[in-house]
Amino acid sequence: MGKWFSEYRVFWQEFRQTFHTTGAVLPSGRRLSRALARQVGRDERPRRILEVGPGTGAVTAEIIPRLGPEDRLDLVELNERFAEILRQRLNEDEKWQRVANRVRVMQLPVEQLPLSEKYECIVSGLPLNNFSCEFVQQVLDHFHSLASEGCTLSFFEYVAIRNFKAMVSSRDERKRLQGIDQILRQELARWEFQRKIVLANVPPAWVHHLRFAAPLPCSDEYPVVQPAVC
């Protein structure tokens, strides 16, 4: 209980100090974390997995049990305090210790991750709705460059968050949110194969699963693919 409270306290402190890159008041809930980790361990071949913005490791804790014996996991975390918590968990948490020799914690912006690194699975916790349109596009382009053929990308966004923000925002902020909405709609229309709504999270969230393979025809609308409720 003390350890749980300590991590939540750190998350809250970092949210207050670095809202732009933290984006959430609390770590992802258990059901949201499970939904984000869903594509890890879907086959038996060795895979390289990348988690971007793991925070204090809520989603990481769901990824680790899904790792195969030859899988490798890279955790890219910009926040210094979060990165230190991740390293501490690898040293002290019994479940994490079992895979510690196959897990790397890298404290750097994801856009600086070398393109020589290629992954079969990417899980992102980045608060895309906090960023500029240009940076959102840059991050998505970098994900494509890091992806091997057939790589999956899983990320989430809170339900109706852009619509809610637009109602209480300035004209420039609404323009930014509309631009992000357009970028994500195009990306999802082209690559998304599954999405789920996680109602048992605060706040409720959509989880999107994309696969970077042969592109689908572009559309201005979200495809309705395998809807589900977690």
Please give the C-alpha separations between residue 84 and each of 81, 91, 104, 107, in angstroms, as whole numbers. 5, 11, 12, 9
On whether the CB atoms of residues 99 and 64 are closer than 8 A, the answer is: yes
Q: Return the pLDDT at 41.
A: 87
What is the reported pTM?
A: 0.84
Q: Return the pLDDT at 37.
A: 98
Q: Return the pLDDT at 18.
A: 54
Q: Return the pLDDT at 6.
A: 57
Please give the C-alpha separations between residue 230 and each of 34, 81, 93, 148, 196, in angstroms, as whole numbers. 9, 31, 27, 29, 7
pLDDT tens, the chain, 230 aa long: 445 455 556 655 655 565 444 445 566 789 999 999 999 987 778 999 999 999 999 999 999 999 999 999 999 999 999 999 999 999 999 999 999 999 999 999 999 999 999 999 999 999 999 999 999 999 999 999 999 999 999 999 999 877 777 777 788 999 999 999 999 999 999 999 999 999 999 889 999 999 997 544 444 444 444 444 44
Q: Return the pLDDT at 10.
A: 64
Q: Return the pLDDT at 13.
A: 60
Secondary structure letter of residue 29 according to DSSP: P
CA–CA gap between residue 39 and residue 142 (Å, rounded) = 20
Query: What residue spans define the domains of the chain?
Result: 2-67+74-212
CATH of domain 2-67+74-212: 3.40.50.150
Q: Return the pLDDT at 4.
A: 46
Secondary structure letter of residue 54 according to DSSP: -
On whether the CB atoms of residues 63 and 49 are closer than 8 A, the answer is: yes
Residue 215 burial (10 A CB sphere; 0-12, 13-18, 19+): exposed
Task: Give just the sign of the alpha carbon dihedral 218, 157, 86, 134.
Answer: positive
